[in-house]
Amino acid sequence: MSNNEYLFAAYAATWIIHIVYLGTIVSRYSRLKREIEELKKPAVRS
């Protein structure tokens, strides 16, 4: 029944949207962690 394709599409779309959003959180978090590592390094005195 082709209607089941719509069912699958709806559930897939839901999880794709959530995973994409979580992905942005995770990538921003790791970028931030790297920045913090940079900040923690002793500052170069010029």
- Contact residues: other proteins, CB under 8 A: 1-4, 6-7, 9-11, 13-14, 17-18, 21-22, 25, 28-29, 32, 35-36, 39, 43, 46
CB of 5 to other proteins, least distance (A): 9
Kindly tell me the sign of the dihedral angle through the C-alpha atoms of 2, 8, 11, 16: negative
d(CA 32, CA 41): 14
CB of 46 to other proteins, least distance (A): 7
In 1-46, the DSSP E strands lie at none
CB of 4 to other proteins, least distance (A): 6
